[in-house]
Amino acid sequence: MIGQLLKPTDQGSPFTRPPSRTARSVHDAFRAKVLEGRFSCLGARSAVSSGRYRFGLYGEMGEVAGTRRLAGDLARFAARRRPADAADFSTFVAAFASPLSIPEERFEAILWEQLRALHEIDARDHGWDTSVSSDPDDPTFAFSIGGVAFFVVGLHGRASRLARRFAWPTLVFNPHDQFTQLRAAGHFGRMQEMIRQRELTLQGSINPMLSEFGTRSEARQYAGRAVDDDWHCPFSARGDE
């Protein structure tokens, strides 16, 4: 799984167009952010530096045509994963051309609208990953697409957490099995501590939304906004409504 800037697919055509100049520019800006010395997420740094990622630029976040393309790209990414891939960090990065510079609450709402739209398409062909819950209030919840569980990280231009701040709204899909592998090997705690130390260096505080999988739903972390204890996730999987 080699790092790649995805080419847009022409509907009904076996040919692909080269990535646009804008797509290359956003891709390069994302790489620069992740590989900058102070960036705190070590998993993302590992995936990008080793080339184990996919990157795609889509239109407006939540827009129908872009959602269909993203759902297909994510399903293919999921289908190509092998058990051995869990031993190394890999990730799928979906950046969007708009909306830019929106408040955190608005980004959070659009993020969940986008995930809901992706799920509606994906549920036609794939079930939810049985290793995690589809209920966003459940401590073992994780988003699933292509039958694979993902931890989703949202970035945007007005994020309060500096590690989440990026000019273009972006969703990073991290396969859950790689975190499971780290825990099984006894390395997850050390990595988590290193990330927290880097967060302190970068921003002077630890992200208050961080929590261990299985103790509190990770849905609270996806958008990056600090939420209250009574926050309710605006998402439900098909069949769970």
pLDDT digits (tens, 9 = 90+) for 191-202: 778 878 888 888
Cβ within 8 Å of residue 171, ≥6 positions away: 93, 94, 111, 114, 152, 153, 154, 155
CB 149 within 8 A of CB 175: yes
Torsions phi, psi for 114 (to 5 deg) = -65, -45
Torsions phi, psi for 118 (to 5 deg) = -60, -45
Whether this prediction's pTM lies above 0.75 is answered by: yes
- Token match 């002077």: residue? 204
- Token match 């409504």: residue? 241
**Residue 14 pLDDT more than 80?**
no
pLDDT digits (tens, 9 = 90+) for 178-221: 888 877 777 677 777 887 888 888 888 877 766 666 578 999 99
Instruction: For the chain, give every domain's residue range.
Output: 4-221
Q: Please, where are the H alpha helices in 80-227? A: 104-122, 177-184, 188-203
Number of neighbours of residue 87 by Cβ within 10 angstroms = 11
